[in-house]
Amino acid sequence: MKDTFLHKGLRNKLVEHLSKKGIDNIDILDAINNVPRHLFMDNAFVNFAYQDKAFPIGSGQTISQPYTVAFQTQMLKIKPYQKVLEIGTGSGYQAAVLNELNTNVYTIERQKDLFKKTKEFLPSIGYKCNFFYGDGYKGLEKFAPFDRVIITCGAPQIPQSLIDQLKIGGRMVAPIGDGDIQIMHLIEKISETETKITTHGEFSFVPMLNNKQNGN
């Protein structure tokens, strides 16, 4: 499948929509405008790719609503060349947006089939990330510390292991809650013993689960 002028026009409209909803970081809007979201989706949903909605991608997972991707990314206040840990690779759409912002992305997926698919797919359309199959709760201690951490699935609580892997002065964005609705949390690491936590509205994510999973 190609990226046509029609797709680019639909992305322009999506960006205008996100801007009206309060996304005002030009770099993030440009990133959303550059990523061909329709290529990340199953054929059954391709015609809806630029609607501001989440859609299933298999393995019980979804590709996040564009507004959610933009909102979380904006909260991170990313700077070029920062090292970002993403928990929940999924389709790779969020990782692609981070890649467009010139970050060094480390991304973990616990669903083996999804991990294999996305690890092959993202480089094929020009996005370079560091892919890992594993338990997101454990993070990637070997590669820590990280400037930014983003959790793209609903966690029942803020994982302390991920706070530990965040640099002092770093920021982590995480949807917290064990029901259908989570509260978006921003965690700012002030020192090794102090964090500042603020909340930023309700969102809905698939749950973050422990341990590796072989498939559906």
pLDDT per residue, tens digit, the chain (216 aa), is 788 999 999 999 999 999 999 999 999 999 999 999 999 988 878 889 999 999 988 777 889 999 999 999 999 999 999 999 999 999 999 999 999 999 999 999 999 999 999 999 999 999 999 999 999 999 999 999 999 999 999 899 999 999 999 999 999 999 999 888 999 999 999 999 999 999 999 998 888 866 655 443
Q: What is the pLDDT of residue 47?
A: 86
Q: What is the pLDDT of residue 20?
A: 97
Residue where the block lists tokens 């790779």: 92
Strand partners, 197: 187
Active site residues: 64
Residue where the block lists tokens 């928990």: 87
Distance (Å) of CA 15 to CA 3, 24, 72 = 17, 10, 15
Strand partners, 86: 107, 150
Q: What is the pLDDT of residue 211?
A: 62
CATH class of the structural domain 54-203: alpha beta
Residue where the block lists tokens 């790719």: 49
Q: What is the pLDDT of residue 212?
A: 55
| In the chain, where the domains are located | 54-203
CB 206 within 8 A of CB 55: no
Entry pTM = 0.93
